[in-house]
Structure 1
């Protein structure tokens, strides 16, 4: 691999001139800049980022800690971070805690999880990253971290008990409120809910959104229309007949997997989703657009969460800027498909 000295000898300019070109500094003619870049490419030059860090005091590198790379939300968030980093000439190092693989949906193991998080933070800091973005498996409160006070830290898809730490999440309550308003606008006043687990942040905020929309439209809240699941397809299947017996004309499942369970039950019992009952899920997973009938769902702003979190972090690094509102909530979008195509009077 070539050095700056070899490039300077090849072009016939000083090492200082080559350094200016490679570091995008002013004071070099366009002709010389072009010659230096051509020589760098020809000689297969690669910058020594660690040496640059020692000289400038910043590594132009972020650390990303993901609770689990296999969870559906994480790749698009990382993609958003990556695009933002690329646009501002930063790199990133990725660490995977494997929480979902190790602990599943269990809310326990707090001490073990905290130890794993703090160990990963130490690993990132030992690699001289300029800041750390932490990606949650789901929206939850991240316990107080044992990290140096001057560590730049941003949460994505979760939030911290330390309110000084910026967090970028999406608005569960607003999304569920909009889903309910959409179903009400189609004439559905008997809306069944396949909720998630009772102690989930997502479940409680989405239920709040449903209740707010019903209240705004003077539709009584009926607790008999609520069933709690565990986010799995099997529970959606099991709970579907209970809601249908209550006489609901529409079902809002709080994730696409449970919605698919409802769809499975309906398909097996000659109930036409989109004609006999309306159905909408949440998350806009790939399966929602390829099942039949195609499933209406709520699309999460995953790319935007990652891009926003990275932008907040890079502003902290480069400008020392902190957002006045340390918890940024992004809006979701409702994707309507065949499963909610008809008005209630047509069902």
Structure 2
């Protein structure tokens, strides 16, 4: 690999000038910068980032700990982090805890999960990252990472009990309010709900937002029109017949997979979704646009969550500045498709 001295000889400048150019320091003309960079490229120079980081006292590298890369929300968040890092000239290291594969939908944090998180944090810190971004599988309290005082920490799609650790999430409650407003605006008064598990924060926030809008519109909330599932497709299929027997004219499923189960049941029983029954899901996963009929759904700001979390982290690193609020909630939007009537 080429050395700085070889680049200096090739560009016919001093070693000090090459050092300034390669480190982005001022005091060198644009013409000289171009000459040095052309020489570096010609000689296939690759900087020793570890040596540079030791000298500068920072690595310009973030650690990302994802609870599970296979969960639908994670790629969009990582993409947002990546774009922010690219814009602000940072790198990142990505670690995958594989929680969903290891523990399925278990929301708790037992000893084994906590040890996995701490081991991954130790690995990130050994690589001299300037801060760690933690991406949750769902909205929940993360392991007690506040014990790791030697690094900066930001949560995405989850949160910490430590008020000094910023968290970026989306507003479940407000999103569900929008769903209720949309269905009511279409004339529905008897609306069924297929919710997630009773112990899920997502379930309870979405249910609360929906109930608030019903109250504001003078429509009594009927608990007999709410069913609870486990986020899987078959729960939509299993709960659809009893809700239809109650005479509902619309159904809000708290995720897209359960909505697909409702579509399966309706297709098999001659019920036309979007005409005989309005249906809206949550998450706006890829399948929502290709199923038949296509599914109206709540679109999550996943890219924005990642980008915002990374921005917060880089402001903490470069400006020693934290956001005023412990939790930043971003808004969602509703994408209407064939499953809701015009």
Match of 1:226 in 2: 226
Divergent runs of 4+, >6 A? none
**Residue aligned with 1:128, SS:** coil
> Residue 80 of structure 1: CA displacement?
0.3
Gaps of 5+ in 2: none
Structure 1 gaps, min length 5: 343-347
Name the CA distance, whole Å, in 2 between partners of 1:338 and 1:179. 15
SS in structure 2 opposite 1:224? helix
| Conserved 8 A contact 2:109-2:142 | no
Give the whole-Å Cα distance in 2 for the aligned partners of 1:150 and 1:122.
Answer: 11
- Residue 328 of structure 1 is matched in structure 2 by 328
Aligned partners of 1:118 and 1:147 also within 8 Å: no
2:279 matched residue in structure 1:
279
Q: For residue 101 of structure 2, what is the aligned residue in structure 1? A: 101
SS in 2 for 1:298: strand
Q: How far 1:146 sits from its partner (Å)?
A: 5.9
Match of 1:345 in 2: none
Deviation at 1:138, TM superposition (A): 0.5
Distance 1:233 1:6 in 2: 63
The Cα shift of 1:109 comes to 5.6
Q: Which residue of 1 aligns with 2:47?
A: 47
Retained in 2: the 8 A contact 1:121–1:147? no
2:4 maps to 4
Partners of 1:109 and 1:140 lie apart in 2 by: 10
CA–CA distance in structure 2, aligned partners of residues 109 and 206 of structure 1: 23
Alignment of 1:213-252 (within 5 A): 213-252=213-252
Q: Quick check: 314-323 or 144-153, which moved more?
A: 144-153
TM-score (norm 1): 0.97
Q: Which residue of 2 aligns with 1:175?
A: 175
Provide the secondary structure at the position in 2 that maps to 1:149: coil
Please tell me whether the aligned partners of residues 76 and 303 of structure 2 are also in contact (alpha carbons under 8 angstroms).
yes
Q: Residues of 2 paired with 1:56 and 1:147: CA distance?
A: 26
* Distance in 1 of aligned mates of 2:146 and 2:336: 44
SS of 2:282's partner is coil
Matched length: 342
Residues 185-210 of structure 1, C-alpha deviation per residue, up to 9 Å, x if partnerless?
11111110000000001000000000
Length-normalised TM-score, structure 2 = 0.98
Check whether the contact 1:235–1:261 (CA below 8 A) recurs between aligned residues: yes
Match of 2:13 in 1: 13
In structure 1, what is the Cα distance between the partners aligned to 2:214 and 2:201? 20
Partner of 1:210: 210
1:155 is paired with a residue of what secondary structure?
strand
| Offset at residue 128 of structure 1 (A) | 0.3
Q: What is the CA deviation profile of residues 23-48 of structure 1, one whole-angstrom value per residue up to 9, with x for unaligned ones? A: 22110111111100111111111121
Q: Deviations over 1:159-190 (max 9, x none)?
A: 00111100000000000010000100111111
Q: Deviation digits for residues 66-105 of structure 1, max 9, x if unmatched?
A: 0000001101100000000000110000100000000000
RMSD: 0.9
Pairing 1:26-175 to 2, within 5 Å after superposition: 26-108=26-108, 110-145=110-145, 147-175=147-175
Q: Deviations over 1:95-134 (max 9, x none)?
A: 0000000000023461110110011111100100000000
What does residue 306 of structure 1 align with? 306
Does 1:187 pair with 2:187? yes
